[in-house]
Copies of this chain bind each other. A is one copy, B any other.
Protein backbone atom coordinates (compact mmCIF):
# COMPACT_ATOMS: atom_id res chain seq x y z
CA UNK A 1 0.00 0.00 0.00
CA UNK A 2 1.01 3.53 -0.68
CA UNK A 3 3.23 5.18 1.88
CA UNK A 4 2.14 8.42 3.41
CA UNK A 5 4.33 11.47 3.17
CA UNK A 6 4.97 11.16 6.86
CA UNK A 7 6.19 7.61 6.43
CA UNK A 8 8.41 8.63 3.56
CA UNK A 9 9.89 11.33 5.76
CA UNK A 10 10.79 9.10 8.64
CA UNK A 11 12.01 6.51 6.16
CA UNK A 12 14.82 8.79 5.21
CA UNK A 13 15.56 9.87 8.73
CA UNK A 14 13.77 13.19 8.90
CA UNK A 15 12.43 14.20 12.27
CA UNK A 16 8.70 14.45 12.52
CA UNK A 17 7.88 17.82 14.03
CA UNK A 18 4.52 19.44 14.62
CA UNK A 19 5.22 21.86 11.76
CA UNK A 20 6.13 19.14 9.33
CA UNK A 21 3.02 17.21 10.15
CA UNK A 22 0.96 20.31 9.55
CA UNK A 23 2.65 21.02 6.25
CA UNK A 24 2.24 17.43 5.18
CA UNK A 25 -1.45 17.63 6.00
CA UNK A 26 -1.80 20.71 3.85
CA UNK A 27 -0.13 18.96 0.95
CA UNK A 28 -1.99 15.68 1.28
CA UNK A 29 -5.28 17.51 1.38
CA UNK A 30 -4.44 19.61 -1.66
CA UNK A 31 -6.01 18.65 -4.93
CA UNK A 32 -4.19 21.40 -6.78
CA UNK A 33 -0.56 22.44 -7.13
CA UNK A 34 -0.03 24.91 -4.31
CA UNK A 35 2.96 27.19 -3.98
CA UNK A 36 4.79 27.93 -0.75
CA UNK A 37 2.53 30.80 0.15
CA UNK A 38 -0.66 28.76 -0.29
CA UNK A 39 0.77 25.99 1.77
CA UNK A 40 1.75 28.52 4.39
CA UNK A 41 -1.80 29.82 4.49
CA UNK A 42 -3.39 26.40 4.62
CA UNK A 43 -0.98 25.14 7.24
CA UNK A 44 -1.54 28.34 9.16
CA UNK A 45 -5.17 27.42 9.70
CA UNK A 46 -4.14 24.36 11.63
CA UNK A 47 -1.16 26.01 13.27
CA UNK A 48 -1.11 29.81 13.19
CA UNK A 49 2.39 29.82 14.63
CA UNK A 50 3.95 28.31 11.59
CA UNK A 51 6.61 30.36 9.89
CA UNK A 52 6.93 30.99 6.18
CA UNK A 53 10.60 30.14 6.12
CA UNK A 54 9.85 26.84 7.74
CA UNK A 55 7.45 26.12 4.94
CA UNK A 56 10.05 27.02 2.36
CA UNK A 57 12.72 24.99 4.08
CA UNK A 58 10.48 22.00 4.49
CA UNK A 59 9.31 22.04 0.90
CA UNK A 60 12.85 22.29 -0.32
CA UNK A 61 13.97 19.42 1.86
CA UNK A 62 11.07 17.29 0.67
CA UNK A 63 11.79 18.14 -2.90
CA UNK A 64 15.47 17.32 -2.61
CA UNK A 65 14.55 14.08 -0.95
CA UNK A 66 12.35 13.22 -3.90
CA UNK A 67 9.24 13.11 -1.74
CA UNK A 68 7.61 16.04 -3.48
CA UNK A 69 7.65 17.16 -7.09
CA UNK A 70 8.26 20.78 -7.88
CA UNK A 71 6.89 22.54 -10.94
CA UNK A 72 7.19 25.93 -12.51
CA UNK A 73 4.27 26.97 -14.60
CA UNK A 74 4.23 30.26 -16.44
CA UNK A 75 3.71 32.33 -13.34
CA UNK A 76 7.18 31.36 -12.25
CA UNK A 77 6.28 30.23 -8.75
CA UNK A 78 7.57 27.01 -7.31
CA UNK A 79 4.58 24.78 -7.11
CA UNK A 80 4.44 21.42 -5.45
CA UNK A 81 2.53 18.21 -5.60
CA UNK A 82 2.66 14.86 -3.96
CA UNK A 83 3.74 12.56 -6.74
CA UNK A 84 7.45 12.75 -7.06
CA UNK A 85 7.74 10.77 -10.24
CA UNK A 86 7.26 13.08 -13.14
CA UNK A 87 4.97 10.82 -15.01
CA UNK A 88 1.97 12.85 -15.91
CA UNK A 89 1.04 15.87 -17.90
CA UNK A 90 -0.90 19.00 -17.07
CA UNK A 91 -3.68 20.31 -19.20
CA UNK A 92 -3.99 24.01 -18.52
CA UNK A 93 -7.18 25.87 -19.24
CA UNK A 94 -5.93 29.12 -20.64
CA UNK A 95 -9.16 30.89 -19.85
CA UNK A 96 -9.36 30.00 -16.18
CA UNK A 97 -5.94 28.68 -15.21
CA UNK A 98 -7.50 25.43 -14.13
CA UNK A 99 -5.08 22.51 -14.23
CA UNK A 100 -6.12 18.98 -15.12
CA UNK A 101 -3.72 16.10 -14.68
CA UNK A 102 -3.58 13.29 -17.16
CA UNK A 103 -1.39 10.40 -18.11
CA UNK A 104 -1.03 8.80 -21.47
CA UNK A 105 1.18 5.77 -22.05
CA UNK A 106 1.27 6.22 -25.77
CA UNK A 107 2.75 9.69 -25.42
CA UNK A 108 5.23 8.37 -22.94
CA UNK A 109 6.25 5.68 -25.35
CA UNK A 110 6.86 8.25 -28.07
CA UNK A 111 8.82 10.41 -25.69
CA UNK A 112 11.14 7.56 -24.84
CA UNK A 113 11.60 6.89 -28.52
CA UNK A 114 12.48 10.51 -29.20
CA UNK A 115 14.98 10.59 -26.37
CA UNK A 116 16.59 7.42 -27.64
CA UNK A 117 16.70 8.76 -31.12
CA UNK A 118 18.84 11.60 -29.79
CA UNK A 119 21.02 9.27 -27.80
CA UNK A 120 19.34 9.67 -24.43
CA UNK A 121 17.37 7.72 -21.93
CA UNK A 122 14.22 9.37 -20.66
CA UNK A 123 14.16 9.84 -16.91
CA UNK A 124 11.21 12.19 -16.57
CA UNK A 125 9.17 14.72 -18.45
CA UNK A 126 7.09 17.79 -18.18
CA UNK A 127 4.15 18.17 -20.45
CA UNK A 128 1.80 21.08 -20.36
CA UNK A 129 -1.02 21.38 -22.81
CA UNK A 130 -2.33 24.88 -23.11
CA UNK A 131 -5.91 24.73 -24.22
CA UNK A 132 -9.22 26.53 -24.42
CA UNK A 133 -12.61 24.99 -23.81
CA UNK A 134 -14.25 23.55 -26.89
CA UNK A 135 -17.16 25.55 -28.17
CA UNK A 136 -20.43 23.72 -28.58
CA UNK A 137 -19.97 23.85 -32.30
CA UNK A 138 -16.54 22.28 -32.11
CA UNK A 139 -17.78 19.66 -29.75
CA UNK A 140 -20.53 18.74 -32.16
CA UNK A 141 -18.25 18.71 -35.15
CA UNK A 142 -16.09 16.15 -33.47
CA UNK A 143 -12.41 15.61 -33.78
CA UNK A 144 -10.28 17.37 -36.24
CA UNK A 145 -6.69 17.04 -35.28
CA UNK A 146 -4.91 20.30 -35.07
CA UNK A 147 -2.45 22.19 -33.01
CA UNK A 148 -3.19 25.82 -32.91
**A residues neighboring B (CB under 8 Å):** 70, 72-74, 76, 78, 85-87, 89, 91, 93-94, 100, 102, 104, 106-134, 138-139, 142-143, 145-148
Bound Cα distance from A12 to B39, whole angstroms: 42
Asked if A119 and B133 make an inter-chain contact with CB atoms under 8 angstroms apart, the answer reads: yes
Contact A119/B139 with A114-B102, A126-B126 known, Cβ cut-off 8 Å: yes
Contact A129 B115 (CB under 8 A): yes
Closest residue to A124 on the B side, CB-wise?
B130
Q: Cα distance A87–B148 when bound, in Å?
A: 9
Cβ A148 vs Cβ B119 within 8 A: yes
Number of copies: 2
A121 CB contact (under 8 Å) in B110, B117, B124, B131: B131
A112 touches B76 (CB 8 A): no
Cross-chain contact B139 with A123 (CB below 8 angstroms): no
Query: What are 28 of the A-B contact pairs (CB < 8 Å)?
Result: A72-B72, A72-B74, A72-B76, A91-B114, A91-B115, A93-B120, A94-B123, A107-B107, A107-B110, A107-B111, A108-B147, A111-B129, A112-B145, A113-B143, A115-B129, A120-B134, A121-B146, A122-B129, A122-B130, A122-B131, A122-B146, A122-B147, A123-B131, A125-B127, A125-B130, A125-B147, A126-B130, A127-B127
Interface contact B119-A125, CB-CB below 8 Å: no
